[in-house]
Structure 1
């Protein structure tokens, strides 16, 4: 950008900075949400809850399916980019 456009856009700098910060937070949240290690830990916690009688088998099945779907999405996403975590 040229000097004039920078000067003209200066009042919008806080908005641009906030948008950048929000984008960074969303990207980090998605990275954690789709992290295979996090999903596996949640699956283990879910199994412990069922064994302890805290959730029913139907709830377990539903939540397990959701977690397995996330794991599948994570593995598809990391297969194309090569940025997946190793286990």
Structure 2
């Protein structure tokens, strides 16, 4: 039965392969997005923008809250080492 199933589904192989690739890209993007080292670097840049007068205190607080939520999520997930690399 397995061979027949594979032969019947053979025309859909490119779609299944594309789905796998998309899943892998999404996984890597999420790893980078929630990586503590990445978030800390963004927090440092945000502070520099505030000190340079490029953003006001209100915008700083809004963006800082978003980044701190990402950091907390990343630390809870434990999927990164905090130095920009995955475990």
Aligned residues: 83
**Aligned ranges for residues 8-87 of structure 1 at < 5 Å?**
8-78=8-78, 83-86=79-82
Taking only aligned residues, the RMSD between alpha carbons, in angstroms, comes to 1.4
Preserved CA contact (<8 Å) 2:31 2:80? no
Unmatched 5+ residue regions in structure 2? none
* Off by >3 Å, runs of 4+ in structure 1: none
Task: Render the CA deviation track for 1:17-71: whole Å, top value 9, x for unaligned.
Answer: 1100110110000000000000000000000011111111100011001000111
Name the structure, 1 or 2, with higher relative contact order (CA <8 Å, separation 6+).
2
Question: TM-score under structure 2 normalisation?
Answer: 0.89
Q: Which residue of 2 aligns with 1:3?
A: 3
Alpha-carbon distance between aligned partners in 2 of 1:41 and 1:86, rounded to the nearest angstrom: 11
Question: TM-score under structure 1 normalisation?
Answer: 0.89
Alpha-carbon distance between aligned partners in 1 of 2:82 and 2:49, rounded to the nearest angstrom: 27
Unmatched 5+ residue regions in structure 1? none
